[in-house]
Every structure is written in C-alpha cells, then in structure tokens.
Structure 1
Amino acid sequence: MSTGPDAILNFRRIDAQLTTSGQPTADQFAALAALGVRHVVNLGMSDHPRAVAEEPTILDALGIGYTHIPVPFDAPEEAHYQTFRQAMVAHGGTPLHVHCIVNARVTAFLTRYRREELGMDDAAARAPMDSVWQPGGVWAEFVGDTEAVARAHRFAGRDY
C-alpha cells in the first residue's frame, strides 16, 4: 500500500500552504512531513475506529505541531468553528494539513472559513467540499446551505 499523500483518503491540495484529507495512517504522516507540513489540525473524534491514537506522538517526532478540535459528526457547533478559525489564523503562514476521518468535517469548516474569513464567493469557497460531499442536515445548516437541510448527505464517488 502506498504511503504517499495521494494515498490518504480524500487528500486535497487546497493551495501551496494548505492540504486536507481523511485520517492519515501512521506511515502517511511522514509523507505529509516530506511535503513540508509543519502543523496538523485534526477535527476527528479520537474514539473513532480509524483514529490514530498515537497521532500527537508521531507528529511530535516528525517536528510537526498538532491541534486537536474534536467535532462530533452529528453535532458541529459554532464554538468548534471559532476554535478552528483561530487555529487557521495562528498557523496560516506555515504549511498546514487539516484532517478528520473522511475529509467531510474539514471541507465543511473550510467552506465557511474561505467564504467568511477570506471573502471567497460561494462556488469557489465550497469547491473542495463539493469534490468530497454535499452535506445535508446539520452540516448543510453549518455551512449555510438552507436548501439542503432537509436532504441526506451525498458523497462524491462513494459512501463512507
């Protein structure tokens, strides 16, 4: 199995300083370090079966900083977003990787951040999210897509 960054579930390069993905394996963190990543933000829950329990230790050994903002998939809150926003601002000048379990939480948070903080138009702000999924329910509400609140999540390419 490949350990390069393209092998990480739903890996996306957003720009020269920012990449996102689902949960990397222990071996794939080295590939992120080789890309120049210097800080990782994790929005996944530590008790998820795909979570890597030793993630903070692995990243520390690679010289990569770590911020964990556990976001329950069924209950994203404004406080989670504000903590995420602060982390993005604090580490915006360094190569940053943001992940969760399948890159759904991350792309939703990133949609809001790109629209609200960076002033991007909606289509550009949500492009990374649309390449992974189209949220319904609480996540549609979270990203401000009121028309999709009553719909189920739709995942691009496969069900997770």
Structure 2
Amino acid sequence: MSEILNYVKINELISTSGQPSVEQFKEIADYEYEVIINLALHNASNAIENEDKVVTNLKMAYFHIPVDFDKPKLSDLKLFLNLLQSLGANKVWIHCALNYRVSAFMYVYHKYILKTPFENIDLSIFEEWSPEPIWQELMKVNYEDLYKA
C-alpha cells in the first residue's frame, strides 16, 4: 500500500490516497476494501479512464463526488460527510488526484464526526500542500453551519 501516491491509513475502515493505478485498485480490493470514493474530477491529469468500471469489476462499490479544486463547495463537503457516515462499517478507500481534497475533507470528518484530538490527526499531507484560502475556510467550517447551508 505504501506505493500508492500519498497513502494515509485513517483507521481500520478508512484509508485515503492520491489516484491509484489500475493495478493498485486490485491491491486495494485484495485488502478487502468494499467502497471507493473518488473526489477528483473525471479529467484530472492522472485520472483513470472508466475508473467506475475498473472498481466495480473488482466487486467494490464506486461513488464519485467531483470536487473542483479551485472552487470546492460546502455542498461537496456535506455530501461527502453524509456519504461516509452512511457507509457505517464498510471498509472505504477515498482518493482524489493527490490526496489534497480528501485530506481537507477528512480533517473536517476527524474534527466533527470522529472527534479525533487535533494532535492525533495525520497532517503530514499538509507538509507538501499548503491549502489556499478557499480550502482553509472550508476546513474551518462550523459543523452546525454546514447543515444550515
């Protein structure tokens, strides 16, 4: 798994990364992941053609929430949080192009859903990516305000 771009294991049920290759999706399936969530746009520079077919042919469910990197929306974050919570005890792999979108969304998930203490959140991805102000604002969202939107 460590060969997968910007791989981060969140817990026993959730892992994140940048774009996996077709071969890496096979490895992910071998590790008994049941669900793939893709936050990248379909035309990302490292996107896999027909990723939905690749994933579903490996007997994993596939969800695509295309998040515009330059214009992430609160509605994208809300959909992501609702989807991830609805998956319960399923083993989930979440990716985007470089694991930047995912890391920002997972930060909010850690903060409000998992209630992970700040010092226990893996923030290593932010050593290579300094989020632009629009992403910083998204990560600072108040959970109650998110559900008023």
TM-score, scaled relative to structure 2: 0.87
Matches within 5 A, 1:11-90: 11-90=7-86
Contact 2:5-2:19 at 8 Å conserved across structures: yes
Structure 2 runs not aligned, ≥5 long? 142-149
> How big is the shift at 1:132?
5.3
- Larger relative contact order (CA 8 Å, sep ≥ 6): 2
CA shift in 2, pair 1:85/1:118, >3 Å: same
Structure 1 runs not aligned, ≥5 long? 146-160
Take 1:118 and 1:128, find their aligned partners in 2: how far apart are those partners? 18
In the alignment of these two chains, the number of paired residues is 141
Matches within 5 A, 1:1-160: 5-125=1-121, 127=123, 129-130=125-126, 133-144=129-140
Take 1:134 and 1:122, find their aligned partners in 2: how far apart are those partners? 18
TM-score, scaled relative to structure 1: 0.81
SS at match of 1:27: helix
Aligned partner letter, 1:101: A
Contact 1:14-1:128 at 8 Å conserved across structures: no
Q: Deviations over 1:84-136 (max 9, x none)?
A: 01111121311100000000000100000110222223333463543553323
Contact 2:35-2:60 at 8 Å conserved across structures: yes
Question: Between the two proteins, what is the percent identity of the paired residues?
Answer: 28
